[in-house]
Structure 1
Amino acid sequence: MDNFADNAAAYLQRYRHTDANRLACNLTAQIDAVDAGALELPVTINHAEPGNAWVCSPRSTYIDYAAEEARRLLPRPLGATVAGLCAQLARLADACALDRTVTLNNWCLSTNLYPALAAVDLDQALAQARRRWPGHALWWRSLNRQDNADWLQALQARGFALIASRQVWLYPDLEAAARRANMRADARLLQRRDLHWCDNHAISAADAPRIAELYGQLYLGKYSRWNPAYRPQMIADWQRDGLLRLEGWRDDHGRLQCITGMFGTEQVVSTPIVGYDTGAAQKLALYRTLTATSYRHARQSQRRLNLSAGAAGFKRLRGGVAAIEYSAVWAPPAARATRALLWTLSQLTRRVGEPLMRHYQL
């Protein structure tokens, strides 16, 4: 299922008026929706609950996860300086209830994909959100200038500030990327004999615990505990509802060794679920095999590919185009401290964060 409106209907039928903890064990947020004309947009509502994964928490995104990334990826003195700044911002964030938020079009994924702006009554959606949650800040995540320039312009015109989040890697021309030497070498892995490809129909709910395990090894074990810890039931439900297309590779015993879960709209494919046995020998090239699998599906479906953040050098060598991803944020006029903190975050991330992300290819 790759139609935005159909995806939203399926998602809301399962999760509306429930808690995001059903999706991931480190999420606490109410799931609801706002009317946006011809379709509904899923939203998450937070009341400053502590410890949330970053997909529902501005604090985790811009302070906790940012501090981790600074220590891990930046040169040591610079990383320590950025982490120290994050520690100071944490106290302000808690005092200002930064996580008292409504995040619109939030699917609790690392990358929220967007419908065409022309299909959305943006003013109706915003008016409804402000009326229903008058004390909450409004957030939109996962916006970049290549795919969402019209959204960014429209939201800024309505008083939203932009906060830079991360650098993501886009593939607007997969046919050109396929001619690169690295991409051609990866494509040969799709013919491997030591592992056996299985498409979406050959993966069942019985595989969901293994998929969650492989995802967790990579995103929680290797990267950060602030990533969402998706539940096996969520993976099984999303596949059943047509929200996730799963493709993986099994060994001779039928055990999954790597997996990709793809989520798409009419124009774009993303890969919110990626996992592999991180203890396997590097020569098995499991990550390369997975990315080649995602490239193939995007090319066959004639859509652009958004491979999110991370592994910058790897993605750049395969034709990835870097794009800064933003959140667009607005706080009620009465919430003066929150508005001041959002302005500070906007200035810091755009004047300091963006140049660092571009320079160090984060």
Structure 2
Amino acid sequence: MERPATGQTPFMKIILGKDLLSESMSADDSPAKRYVRACAGGVLIGNVKTRMALLDTASQQVPVSITDGIEPERNCYVVSMRTAYSGYALEELKRLHRPLLTWPLKVLAKGADRLFQAAKIDKLVLINNWLLSTNLYSPGWDNTDLGALTDMLRREFPDHGIGFRSLNDFSNQGLRERLGGLGFLSIPSRQIYLFDGQAGPQSPFTRHHSTRIDASLLRRSPYTVVTGAELNAAEFERIEHLYNLLYLKKYSSLNPQYSAHWMECGQRDGWLELRALRNVQGRIDGVVGWFTNSVIVSAPVVGYDTSLPQKIGLYRQLTQLSLQEAAKRQQVLNFSAGAADFKRVRGGQPRIEYSLIYVDHLPWGRRFVWKLLSMLLHRIGVPLMRKLKL
């Protein structure tokens, strides 16, 4: 069902993912259209519960996630603000295994979680949401009538918040300022690390001592670097396992649970570029997957065999592959959050990442909770992120 915007921009429309399933596929379909159709056709990410839609702004097409606040507990943070801001806190406190020390913080986090639930912060429409840890914004957003887009979404989803994830002031300052001018609230989320490869081989991060050591490690590595096009079905299952070892078992089960089928779809449809490390016996021991546009590279998929000795340096090799790719493309690598010290000594530049959320059309109580969250994170959260170098 196509639902064109009425009023200011007749060419702007949103199409529900389930309605794309009845359309014939075409070689001219955009990556976003192929992605939304794939997501609507089955469960590709185990812990993501959402409806997907395709937004056509006339200048570009992007995926949209729609949650109604009634999804299961522990819905992944890529669609759930409740998980992002209280679920993660509760899980991290549990992982400390210090109940006497952490119980006051646990009580506070549980209280915040109940407040978020009452305020329905997960009743949310997220624009340009590729269900990744980091969404990228193309230059096409410079030509988008954000006011008309906001008006359309207010009409279509009058009881939902409207949001954009993954904005930072290095890559998206203009977009963030334009959204702020329309009344979108700025909600800090985390500190990410950027590697500016626009100078190619002369990029500053290439001169860091740790980066040079890693480059030497990769050159001398017994592993063969293979592309996603060279992987067979069993190897896609293997890279799903490697991703799970790192992101779900070592880090957090709240991270996206990407399936082998999701990775196969990405490789086939062109929105994910995979590189894997194959050992001399033919086994895949490491993988990195890049999501790109014309100016930014990100790495939503990273995984390796955590049972192998650390001295092999699998994570270092995968990082070096990503840095080399950014320099080769003369683009910026957004290497997400986490492993802060590791990224800093290789030239990663910290930036605060934000979500921009529009709530002016919602009831007063729900607006208040969003504004309180924004204020507390700006006044307390951001200074802590910077001071602790998270």
Question: Common fold, TM-score beyond 0.5?
Answer: yes
Counting matched residue pairs gives: 356
1:3 paired residue number: none
2:299 paired residue number: 271
CA distance in 2, matches of 1:125, 1:31: 17
Match of 1:169 among 193, 200, 203: 193
1:43 paired residue number: 64
CA distance in 1, matches of 2:371, 2:173: 21
Q: 1:181 to 1:151 in 2, by over 3 A?
A: same
Q: The residue matched to 1:31 in structure 2 has which SS?
A: strand
> What is the Cα deviation at residue 120 of structure 1?
2.2
Which structure would you say has the larger Rg?
2
Q: 1:193 to 1:223 in 2, by over 3 A?
A: closer
2:76 paired residue number: 53
Whether the aligned pair in 2 keeps the contact of 1:32 and 1:43 (CA below 8 Å) is yes
2:155 paired residue number: 131
CA distance in 2, matches of 1:276, 1:10: 27
CA distance in 1, matches of 2:331, 2:205: 13
1:24 paired residue number: 45
CA distance in 2, matches of 1:39, 1:32: 14
CA distance in 2, matches of 1:22, 1:12: 17
**TM score, norm. by length of structure 2:** 0.86
Whether the aligned pair in 1 keeps the contact of 2:183 and 2:360 (CA below 8 Å) is no
Deviates more, 1:13-22 or 1:135-144: 13-22
Deviates more, 1:304-313 or 1:88-97: 88-97
Q: 1:59 to 1:8 in 2, by over 3 A?
A: farther
1:317 paired residue number: 345
**Which digits, 9 at most, give the CA deviation of each residue in 1:18-59, with x for residues without a partner?**
549622011110110223231122100001112211101000
C-alpha RMSD of matched pairs (Å): 2.3
Q: The residue matched to 2:153 in structure 1 has which SS?
A: helix
Whether the aligned pair in 2 keeps the contact of 1:44 and 1:106 (CA below 8 Å) is yes
Deviates more, 1:95-104 or 1:192-201: 192-201
2:7 paired residue number: none
CA distance in 1, matches of 2:333, 2:239: 22
Match of 2:175 among 151, 155, 163: 151
Identity %: 38
Code of the aligned partner of 1:236: E
> What is the Cα deviation at residue 80 of structure 1?
5.7
Q: 1:359 to 1:289 in 2, by over 3 A?
A: same
Whether the aligned pair in 2 keeps the contact of 1:20 and 1:28 (CA below 8 Å) is no
Q: The residue matched to 1:22 in structure 2 has which SS?
A: coil
Q: The residue matched to 1:261 in structure 2 has which SS?
A: strand
> What is the Cα deviation at residue 253 of structure 1?
1.7
CA distance in 1, matches of 2:260, 2:237: 5
Q: 1:53 to 1:21 in 2, by over 3 A?
A: farther
**Which digits, 9 at most, give the CA deviation of each residue in 1:150-189, with x for residues without a partner?**
1110111011111110000001246111011100000012
Deviates more, 1:79-88 or 1:150-159: 79-88
CA distance in 1, matches of 2:169, 2:294: 18
Q: 1:62 to 1:184 in 2, by over 3 A?
A: same
Whether the aligned pair in 2 keeps the contact of 1:20 and 1:31 (CA below 8 Å) is no
Does 1:305 find its partner at 2:348? no
More helix, by proportion:
1
2:33 paired residue number: 12
CA distance in 2, matches of 1:10, 1:36: 15
Q: Where does structure 2 lack aligned partners over 5 or more consecutive residues? A: 1-26
2:16 paired residue number: none
Code of the aligned partner of 2:155: R
**TM score, norm. by length of structure 1:** 0.92
**Which digits, 9 at most, give the CA deviation of each residue in 1:205-234, with x for residues without a partner?**
442111111111111001111111011101
> What is the Cα deviation at residue 294 of structure 1?
0.7
Deviates more, 1:127-136 or 1:235-244: 127-136
Q: 1:329 to 1:89 in 2, by over 3 A?
A: same
> What is the Cα deviation at residue 70 of structure 1?
6.0
CA distance in 2, matches of 1:225, 1:63: 14
Q: 1:324 to 1:67 in 2, by over 3 A?
A: farther
1:199 paired residue number: 227
> What is the Cα deviation at residue 71 of structure 1?
6.5
Whether the aligned pair in 2 keeps the contact of 1:142 and 1:325 (CA below 8 Å) is yes
Code of the aligned partner of 2:167: L
> What is the Cα deviation at residue 130 of structure 1?
1.4
> What is the Cα deviation at residue 132 of structure 1?
1.3
Match of 1:105 among 94, 117, 128: 128
Whether the aligned pair in 1 keeps the contact of 2:195 and 2:323 (CA below 8 Å) is no
Whether the aligned pair in 1 keeps the contact of 2:164 and 2:355 (CA below 8 Å) is yes
> What is the Cα deviation at residue 83 of structure 1?
4.1
Q: 1:17 to 1:253 in 2, by over 3 A?
A: closer
Code of the aligned partner of 1:46: T
CA distance in 1, matches of 2:277, 2:260: 18
Q: 1:83 to 1:238 in 2, by over 3 A?
A: same
